[in-house]
Chain A
């Protein structure tokens, strides 16, 4: 019952927001030139949904997001496990990672434009660079969290490096990796859309820029709404995947050699 009342209140909140967005421009508090009424935005969205170009743009965004995320996760996991498992490697690369990590990926925009133009590779450059660090850092935490007793036990049983990774390192690292994937998924979406916005790769971001420059205000807001919904979907998906994988993981963990 508590969940229901919480849910009910949440829905009420969202409904209130929609109502506000409808009334504020109609009443004239904000000029409808700058903020069209909510119903108009929704109507425009419905129109957009009927056009193939909208769906192509959406798919372009999602393709860039998914591909970039995949590359970042694989690279981050592999490098994270490699570096994390060897103390001297960790020590040697520590300062480099701490230096490269805070470099804003958007600094690479001009380079990406020069090298790849509006080809998907320029988008991928930004997405992969930003998402990679999220995954790497989390995997490094995870590998460091491995119980040294467990590791010693595995080694004393003659488990080779690969077996050690599989039975000792991986189960401990998995929750951290899932956190990293969740963070990376959000960052990847932001960078994908940013690349489209500023470089002009095909996708939602470019459509928004085009709508803005051609004065199609309602269409612009409709696309922003879509971007928000995609963001919410990515969050929800990431959490669902995380829960699923870790559910499996905890039951397997019970059987892994201590």
Chain B
């Protein structure tokens, strides 16, 4: 098969079903009289009006910024605390039940608590995201550090790899697959918290705008917001995947080689 034909076939397979589904949605809703399910055409028309406007800067950007700040702070804190806890058996035994309890608390209930403490501004939203996102990163870091190969550890000791170099070359790299797993879980939690904190009590943001549309019965606008939120989720997931692909390239190739039988 020629290169062009192969590319065309891949495009067909990848885009086939989604295009079909969108087409079905378009046609099925074309003459819709239903208040709640307007024609797809109208939704897409409103999309540009609603979101490609001042709203982008006033609502979408602040939401994403809060998510970024909260998420990155949670990752930094989670790793910073997770490394010493993972390295010490005694610390782990003491602290792990407490950490597992905090992780088990459904993160969205922190919203009312933090509203009490921090009001309904940016601080509250960022704090909520930090509180919710830190636990998967922390606990996975602990697990990743704990599971570092003792032979590798001894090798590092032998060759005088200590301190910051040991942290960088042995601990963080060695635990990175687990840490990234935690970061992935934290990302979905972060998105949920970003939206919920804005729906519950806020004065701006993506979640806030969508719920305002719903309360004001601006239905096509509401739908356009839902679609935008979906796109944001997909986009963040793609960005994460790209990051993961680079940071864990060695790990993916390693696992693939093991799966396929491995070197002799």
User: Are A and B close enough to touch in the complex, i.e. CB under 8 Å?
Assistant: yes
Tell whether, in the assembled complex, residue B234 and residue A14 are in contact, meaning their CB atoms are under 8 Å apart.
Answer: no
Tell whether, in the assembled complex, residue B112 and residue A220 are in contact, meaning their CB atoms are under 8 Å apart.
Answer: yes
Interface size for A (C-beta < 8 A) is 57
A96 CA to B94 CA, complexed, in Å? 44
Among the listed B14, B36, B93, B103, which residue makes an inter-chain contact with A95, where contact means beta carbons less than 8 Å apart?
Answer: B14
Tell whether, in the assembled complex, residue A232 and residue B100 are in contact, meaning their CB atoms are under 8 Å apart.
Answer: yes
A18 CA to B26 CA, complexed, in Å? 56
Nearest-neighbour CB distance to chain A for B85, whole angstroms, equals 11
Among the listed B17, B97, B117, which residue makes an inter-chain contact with A96, where contact means beta carbons less than 8 Å apart?
Answer: B17
Contacts A197-B108, A217-B116, A231-B105; is A106 near B15 (CB within 8 Å)? Answer: no
Q: Which residues of A contact B147 (CB under 8 A)?
A: none
Tell whether, in the assembled complex, residue A110 and residue B196 are in contact, meaning their CB atoms are under 8 Å apart.
Answer: no
- Residues of B at under 8 Å CB distance from A? 13-18, 21, 36, 90, 93-98, 100-109, 111-113, 115-117, 188, 191-192, 195-196, 199-200, 207, 210-211, 213-214, 219, 222-223, 225-226, 229-230, 233-234, 236-237
- Overall SS of chain B's interface: helix
A14 CA to B234 CA, complexed, in Å? 39
Q: Please list 8 pairs of residues, one from A and one from B, whose beta carbons are closer than 8 Å in the complex, sorted by A's number.
A: A13-B96, A17-B98, A95-B15, A102-B233, A197-B111, A198-B196, A227-B105, A232-B101
Contacts A12-B94, A104-B188, A104-B233; is A194 near B108 (CB within 8 Å)? Answer: yes
Nearest-neighbour CB distance to chain B for A66, whole angstroms, equals 15
Question: Chain A, 83-117, contact with B by CB distance < 8 Å: what is the 0/1 string?
Answer: 00000000111111001011111111111011100
Closest CB pairs A-B (n = 7):
A231-B104, A110-B214, A102-B237, A212-B112, A9-B93, A107-B229, A13-B94
Contacts A113-B214, A228-B101; is A103 near B233 (CB within 8 Å)? Answer: yes
